[in-house]
Amino acid sequence: MIRIGVNPIGWSNDDLRSLGGDTPLETCLAEAASVGFAGVELGHKFPREPAALQAALAPYGLACVTGWHSGGLLQHDAAAEMEVMRSHLDLLKAMGSPVLVFAETSGAIHGDYGAPLSRRPLMAEDDWEPFGRRLTQVAEATLSEGVRLVYHHHMGTVVQSAADIHALMAMTGPAVGLLLDTGHATWGGANPAALATYYRDRIFHVHAKDVRRDVMQRAEAENWSFLRSVVEGVYTVPGDGMVDYPAVFAALAGYSGWVVIEAEQDPEKANPLLYAQMGFDHLKAYLSGAGLA
């Protein structure tokens, strides 16, 4: 069964908090519910205590899908990582969230408006094996508690390109799931449909966002930062860019889980409610065409 969710980043950005900074959480939740989304991912405006979070979501009938964790496994071992993420994991468990979004952020530049993507960190060849081992240990630990770790490849981090994703998957065990992000894959030079085909059995979460080709090409040509690219409109909702969604969902035949629209834009330029509705309608049509809805 597929459920369609949304990340609040279209209303209120986590990495550049001036984008949508004045938008109340209640506005995001009410508009998400009005569109028809079944759940939301966590953002910085959400309560982080189970009872308060449930009270915030319940009036809108929304589930807590998951939330992002910034990892530091290039700096410390799995036991230390579990200590850092304990409160986050416990919150997701209490809310019945099936997956935990993990991204290694050691040296990451995606939150720095002044850092061009050409300066993103690269994984040293000798670091892949210990990193993969530690990540597998963390994933096995969360899975033993009922929550699947899904790795989020992301622009401006050590896992950005197709080669990075392949290395990550080769160096980790089956407890480590892959979060397929169509927008980050496309911009990072990977074919999301090919990733879906190759890693079908390890994909347990999907982020659906589209990419505006002209903005992406200009960002690459002029060596923009991730955040400048976002402000300029590199990302948009499904159906409004270059991603071949019919091919992606054809490759995900049999997938069961959440598909979440996560399309960060400047809400002053892209009305969050209008774009959320557009993305939802397109996504439902794509899923239906692939026999997934």
Considering the chain, what percentage of its residues have pLDDT values greater than 70? 100
Average predicted confidence (pLDDT) for the chain: 97
> For 234-260, how does the pLDDT look when each residue is reduced to its tens digit (9 = 90+)?
999 999 999 999 999 999 999 999 999
> For 87-105, how does the pLDDT look when each residue is reduced to its tens digit (9 = 90+)?
999 999 999 999 999 999 9
The rounded distance, in Å, linking the Cα atoms of 117 and 225 is 5
The rounded distance, in Å, linking the Cα atoms of 24 and 129 is 43
Q: Residue 1's pLDDT is what?
A: 87
Structure tokens at 57: 């979501």
Q: Residue 77's pLDDT is what?
A: 98
Q: Residue 293's pLDDT is what?
A: 82
Mean pLDDT value across residues 168-183: 98
Q: Residue 198's pLDDT is what?
A: 98
User: Which residue blocks in 39-144 are alpha helix, DSSP H?
Assistant: 50-57, 78-95, 128-144
Among 111, 134, 133, 135, which residue's Cα sits nearest to residue 121? 111
Confidence of residue 114 (pLDDT cuts 50, 70, 90): very high
> For 254-289, how does the pLDDT look when each residue is reduced to its tens digit (9 = 90+)?
999 999 999 999 999 999 999 999 999 999 999 999
Contacts of 235 (CB under 8 A, 6+ apart): 183, 209, 210, 211, 212, 241, 263, 264, 265
- What's this model's pTM, rounded to 2 decimal places? 0.97
For 4-39, letters b (16+ CB in 10 Å) and e give bbbbbbbbbbbbbeebbeebebebbbebbbebebbb
Confidence of residue 203 (pLDDT cuts 50, 70, 90): very high
Structure tokens at 64: 């807590």
Q: Residue 24's pLDDT is what?
A: 97
